[in-house]
């Protein structure tokens, strides 16, 4: 019986529940500090607008030409895909499958061999 003498017999304490662990209470801020913070934020926004720099393109002419060609090819692909209907795509796919060799077909298996 002495083994059970040191056991606590109270309910479990869960975080966030009860009076002890209710958490820290928030301090109330006065209106003046809010007004000051608003002034600081607005002054920072004004400074950001003034210090905003114009974006300079630092790419080489070859990079610019490459990007233009990429956009052009991408637009061609999009227009090519958009021009075909589902029926046309299925027909083209079937034609492609007909042209393939029958190497990948499942071979016939018989039990008599």
Q: Domain for residue 17, yes or no? A: no
Question: Is the Cβ–Cβ distance between 67 and 75 less than 8 Å?
Answer: no
Q: Tell me the per-residue pLDDT of 46-79, one tens digit each, with 9 for 90 and over.
A: 666 556 667 788 999 999 999 999 999 999 999 9
Q: Is pLDDT above 90 for 10? A: no
Q: Regarding predicted confidence, which is higher, 100 or 94?
A: 94
The verdict on residue 105 lying in a domain is: no
**What pTM did the predictor assign?**
0.34
> Does 93 have pLDDT greater than 60?
yes
Would residue 103 count as lying in a domain?
A: no
Residue 106 lies in a domain: no
Does some domain include residue 23?
no
Structure-model confidence comparison of residues 98 and 66, the more confident one: 66
What per-residue confidence (pLDDT) applies to 6?
82
Domains held by the chain: number: 1
Cα–Cα distance measured from residue 59 to residue 65, given in angstroms and rounded to the nearest whole number: 10
pLDDT at 63: 95
The residue range of the domain holding 60 is 33-96
Quickly list H helices, the chain.
31-51, 61-83, 86-99
Give per-residue pLDDT as tens, 17-33. Answer: 655 545 566 666 677 77
| Residue 12 falls inside a structural domain | no
Residue 42 within a domain? yes
Q: What are the angstrom distances between the C-alpha of 105 and each of 36, 49, 72, 100? A: 78, 67, 39, 10
Whether 91 maps to a domain, the answer reads yes
Q: What whole-number distance in Å separates Cα of residue 107 and Cα of residue 113?
A: 14
pLDDT value at position 91? 93
Residue 57, CA atoms < 13 Å, CB-side half-sphere: 7
């Amino acid at each position: 019986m002495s083994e059970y003498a040191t056991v606590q017999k109270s309910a479990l304490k869960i975080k966030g529940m009860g009076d002890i662990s209710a958490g820290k209470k928030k301090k109330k801020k006065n209106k003046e500090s809010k007004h000051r913070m608003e002034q600081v934020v607005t002054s920072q926004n004004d400074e950001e607008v003034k210090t905003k720099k114009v974006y300079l393109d630092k790419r080489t002419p070859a990079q610019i030409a490459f990007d233009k060609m990429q956009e052009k090819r991408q637009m061609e692909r999009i227009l090519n895909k958009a021009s075909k209907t589902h029926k046309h795509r299925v027909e083209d796919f079937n034609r492609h499958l007909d042209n393939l060799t029958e190497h990948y077909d499942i071979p016939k298996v018989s039990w008599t061999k």
